[in-house]
A and B are shown apart, each in its own frame.
Chain A
Amino acid sequence: MARHRRFPFLSRILHWTMAAMIVAMLFIGIGMVGSVSEYHWLFSIHKPLGILVLVLVAIRLVNRLFNPPPPLPSGMLGWQRLAAHGSHVVLYALMFAVPLVGWTMLSAARYPIVLYGPLQLPPIAPQSPTLFAVLRETHTVLALLLFATFLIHLSAALMHALIFRDDVFPSMTFFAFAGDKEAGVTGSDPQSGAEGSAAATVAKKV
Chain B
Amino acid sequence: MPQDPTASQRYRPPSLTDKGALARLAAIGGVVLAIAVCFANVAGWLSPGRLSQARFIDRFERLNGVHAGFRRNHAKGVCVTGSFESNGHGVRLSKAVVFKPGRVPVVGRVSLSGGYPYLPDGGKDVRALGLSFRPLDGEEWRTAMINIPVFVVKDPKAFYEQLLASHPDPAMGKPDLAKMAAFTAAHPEFAVAMKVITSNPFSSGFANARYNGLNAFRFVNAADVVTPVRWSMVPTEPFAPDTPEQAKSSDKNYLFDDLIARLARGPLQWHLIVTIGQLGDATDDATMSWPGDREHVDVGTLTIDRAETEAPGNCRDINFDPLVLPSGIEPSDDPLLTARSAAYSESFTRREGETKTPSAVQVPVTGKGS
Contact = CB atoms under 8 A, between A and B. Distances in A.
A111 B341 CA distance: 12
Most buried by B among A134, A136, A147: A136
Contacts of A34: 42-45, 50, 52-54
Contacts of A111: 319, 321, 324
Contact of A154 (B10, B35, B319): B35
Given A36-B338, A159-B28, A112 B8 contact: no
The residue in B10, B21, B56 that gathers the most chain A C-beta atoms within 10 A of its C-beta is: B10
A185 to B, nearest CB: 15
A44 B38 CA distance: 22
Contacts of A57: none
A31 B7 contact: no
B7 A73 contact: yes
Interface string B353-365: 1001000000000
Interface string B120-156: 0000000000000000001110000000000000001
A36 B156 contact: yes
A26 B335 CA distance: 24
A166 B10 contact: yes
Contacts of B331: 40
Contacts of B4: 74-75
Q: How large is the interface on A (under 10, 10 to 19, 20 to 34, 35 or more residues)?
A: 35 or more
B326 interface: yes
Given A40-B338, A74-B1, A132 B42 contact: no
Nearest to B159: A36
Contact of A37 (B9, B324, B338): B338
B275 to A, nearest CB: 23
Interface string A67-91: 0000001111100100000000000
Interface residues of B, number: 61
B165 interface: no
Interface in B1-28: 1, 3-4, 6-12, 14, 20-21, 24-25, 27-28
Contacts, number: 144
Contacts of A173: none
Contacts of B318: 110
Contact of B10 (A33, A134, A165): A165
B35 A109 contact: no
B352 A40 contact: no
B14 A118 contact: no
Interface of B: 1, 3-4, 6-12, 14, 20-21, 24-25, 27-28, 31-32, 35-36, 38-39, 42-45, 50-54, 56, 138-140, 156, 312-313, 317-319, 321, 323-324, 326-327, 331, 335, 337-339, 341-343, 345, 348-349, 352-353, 356
24 contacts: A30-B39, A30-B42, A34-B52, A35-B44, A36-B343, A39-B53, A40-B342, A75-B3, A75-B8, A77-B3, A109-B352, A110-B317, A112-B139, A112-B140, A118-B327, A129-B312, A132-B353, A147-B39, A154-B35, A155-B32, A162-B28, A163-B24, A166-B10, A190-B10
